[in-house]
Amino acid sequence: METVSPSLLPEPVMANLTIEIDLPEGVTITGYHRLPDAHGVEVAWLWPETGCCPRCKTVAPARMESHLEVGKTRVVRDLDILGQPAFFCYQAVFHRCPKCHHRHDLLPPFKRKDTSYTDRFEKQVLQLLIGSSEAEVARRLGISADTVRFIVKNQLADSQAFRVDPKRVITDIGMDEISLKKRHKLYVTIMTDLSDPRHPRVLAVVPGRDEKAAEACLQLLTSEQREAVLRYRVDLGAAYNKACRLLLKNAQAAVDRFHVAKLFGEAVDGVRKKNHAELQEEAVEGGAEGVPFADVGVSPRSVEPDGGGTREVGSALRAVAGAAEVV
């Protein structure tokens, strides 16, 4: 084996990599740490000028205390960076009440109390649940199924507190159902702003998957916002389509390719299952004597492949034609 002298090895080339991070409003980056399979982002935010004591309800000028000197750092999960988990890191800060001297934790503007993830990470979990299950989302994000379930429950608890900025311009609306588990009876409706496909945003989460749930989501928009919506993307069910036609007067339905392909596949599979089991197990060379034309999809008036199966598949395609635009 030959060895190479270190002096003959090429000098390592140093390169700079710029990463763009979409930060919550009011949050700034103070440091960055590259971990083997993750990213650590040190963040800070402006502390409030006043504080309210949760014990005695006294509102007084803020008296902040931090654990910077002992290095006590909080870490919460945020959106992935370059396909790898990212975490916000910040120093623990407390407010000391001047009246009862009770000390309570200062909650950052990007997370709720008693959670180890940001608000926008919760919204990402909801988006990933569309067309998926809690187990699949948990596996994809590297978290437990219990965490996914807890996030959905928190979002449902906040459903009455959802507010949409009346100044927000919304041209595309998405609406779909999600469930915690497959074949689970607990469903919720999620409405998403799809005006910018690169940055979809969850607007509302409401229990149920019927027309009433869809109307509750749309009622969160002002009348001006509903009139400005140009397209709504929903499944082929009647409930969501009826609510959108009723409240989105100027919008046109847009059915995504996933739902079209799913409906087409179901129609073709239904025609296939009409054949006898014996015909699917064994193939006998020669004509299909004694087999009714209808069972093999051949019209009695013609020897050309039918009529019946083609009509059923064609009806599936016509269901999404016309008013619906395939996207």
What's the mean pLDDT in 143-151? 90
What's the mean pLDDT in 264-291? 62
Q: Which range has highest mean pLDDT (54-63, 203-212, 223-232, 269-278)? A: 223-232
**C-alpha dihedral over 309, 313, 314, 318, to 10 degrees?**
150
pLDDT at site 25: 85
31: which strand partners? Answer: 42
pLDDT at site 161: 60
Whether 77 shows a pLDDT value over 90: the answer reads yes
Q: Residue ranges per domain, the chain? A: 27-111, 121-255, 258-275+292-326
Whether 315 shows a pLDDT value over 70: the answer reads no
pLDDT in tens, 96-141: 888 898 888 888 999 998 899 999 999 899 888 877 778 889 999 9
pLDDT at site 206: 87
DSSP string, 46-111: PPPSEEE-TTT--EEE--EEE-GGGT-EEEEEEEEETTEEEEEEEE-EEEE-TTT--EEEPPPTTS
Cα angle at 93 between 90 and 99, to 5 degrees? 170
pLDDT at site 289: 54
Which of 191, 289, 194, 293 has its CA nearest to residue 247? 191
**Helix (H) or strand (E) run with residue 204 in it:** strand 201-207
**Helix (H) or strand (E) run with residue 152 in it:** helix 145-157
pLDDT at site 211: 93
Handedness of CA 102, 108, 113, 114 (dihedral sign): negative
More confident position, 160 or 16:
16
CA distance 143 to 139: 7
pLDDT at site 94: 85
Residue 63's contacts (CB-CB under 8 Å, 6 or more residues apart) are 51, 95, 96, 97, 98
More confident position, 4 or 220:
220
